[in-house]
Amino acid sequence: MDRAILRCVVARVILAAALLSLLVGHATAADSLREQVFQAADRVESRVIAWRRDIHQNPELSNREFRTGNLVAEHLRRLGFDEVRTNVAHTGVVGTLVGGKPGPVVALRADMDALPVVEQVDLPFASKVRTTYNGEEVGVMHACGHDAHTAILMGVAEVLAGLRDQLPGTVKFLFQPAEEGPPPGEEGGAKLMIKEGALTEGARPDAIFGLHVWPDTPGVISYRMGPAMAASDWLQIRVTGRQTHGSSPWRGVDPIIAAAQIMTALQLIPSRQLDITKAPSVITVGKITGGVRANIIPDEVVMEGTIRTFDPEIRAQLLERLERTVNRVAEANGATAEVSVRSYAPVNYNDPELTRQMVPSLEAAAGVDRVRVADLVMGAEDFAYFSREIPGLYVFLGVNREGVGPEEAAPNHSPLFFVNETALKVGVRTLAGLAIDYLEAGTRN
């Protein structure tokens, strides 16, 4: 009897040792592959910086990213990607890298378009590009860091292609045009990429990751579980009056005065008519056009702006009150008004379970003390359309100058927006690490 018990104990010890060895082996393999990824990110750093500078110096507006798309496609082909689809959503590129081992499918996304902004950053590779936008001659600048996003993902493609034999699964690379919104009258962006099969043609991804450079401490990664970035709507208000001489306003209807009163009244909707304890909201008018001469009151004024919300119920209330406010203020002035609202993107939502799973990957890429929980961001991102289709995680990468705090730095969309290139390597480590760790976890499960 004692010998039987002894044999049972010995057998259990041997089994436990075998299981421990297997688990250690898995951990060692994962750590080894991650370490190889990080070493490869170091090696590709100079090339990522060079790509970023080239793209920065040659920016292209939404749905016009012809040069950038060609640069990306040729890079993926040189790396031996299994499939490279071009002209997706006009100028987008979808590359598929099949690993040497079976496993899940993960997608990584970067946006490629620039903004109609005249650059004011003193750089040897500053943009001098000018083009026509909405009938006006404008400068063109990567004032939101999409040049960095594209270069980072090109670096990730090179890193993972070099390790493809060890990849336990498939990685889809989505290089997206028109994140800033397509030109009037055109489709574009993430919504059109999805419509044209970016997620469904070939292997369908189980999850998607993306990042955005941000005015924060260089190399710091911040994330938020659940709602992270606001839903965004384009707003246009057309106020119609009756033209008259500027010296005799009573002989007409002044749409400029009506528009001024409307713009002020709009600010009372978020601050006085909506429950601010539920979720924040913003109405901003960014453009007003009307009139051709100082002493002529015009027939019409057009205001354009943006609406930001985090809660569908709050959004519905805001839109109802906006329509009512605009029409009644216009009516009080003897004018008429027409309100047009066009959705840009829903709330950018980070899947809670996926986020919890991937936080250790963020900490490995940036360092435990350099990963933070972000505040809500009123900015919007059409990455939200991807994460409505499959679980997604979207994070922020700090790119400030050394010693410059978040409140001091020029924000995204500023002509002074600056990217600290020392942070780009962290971006490569982050996206490549997320992909590797997700594939490894899916294989173990």
Which residues are marked as active site? 113, 179
Beta bridge pairs of residue 172: 96, 107
Rounded to an integer, what distance in angstroms lies between the CA atom of residue 198 and that of residue 219? 30
Q: Is the CB of residue 218 less than 8 Å from the CB of residue 366?
A: no
- Half-sphere exposure in the Cβ direction for 62 (13 Å, CA): 20
Half-sphere exposure of 108 (CA within 13 A, CB side): 29
Q: At residue 444, what are phi and psi to the nearest 5 degrees?
A: -65, -35
* Cα distances (angstroms) measured from residue 180 to each of 77, 189, 418: 27, 8, 18
- Which H or E run contains 130? strand 130-133
In angstroms, the CA 303 to CA 259 distance is 8
Residue 328 to residue 341: CA distance in whole angstroms: 18
Contact 187, 390 (CB under 8 A): no
Closest by CA to 430, choosing from 158, 153, 103, is: 153
Task: Output the six-digit token pair for 172.
Answer: 């889809």
Alpha-carbon gap, residue 179 to 351, rounded angstroms? 21
Taken as a whole, the chain contains a residue count of 445
CA 177 remoteness from chain centre: 11
H helices present in 58-95, as ranges: 66-78
Residues 109 and 189 sit within 8 Å (Cβ to Cβ):
no
Q: What residues have CB less than 8 Å from 51, skipping those under 6 apart?
A: 71, 150, 151, 154, 155
Residues facing residue 296 across a β-bridge: 245
Q: What is the CA radius of gyration of the chain?
A: 26
User: How far is the C-alpha of 108 from the C-alpha of 150, rounded, in Å?
Assistant: 11
**Which residues, listed in sequence order, are joined to residue 221 by a DSSP beta bridge?**
371, 397
For residue 405, the one-letter residue type is G
Dihedral in degrees, nearest 10, Cα atoms 84, 88, 92, 95 = -20
Measured in degrees and rounded to the nearest 5, phi and psi for residue 63 equal 65, 10
Cβ-contact 156, 365 below 8 angstroms: no
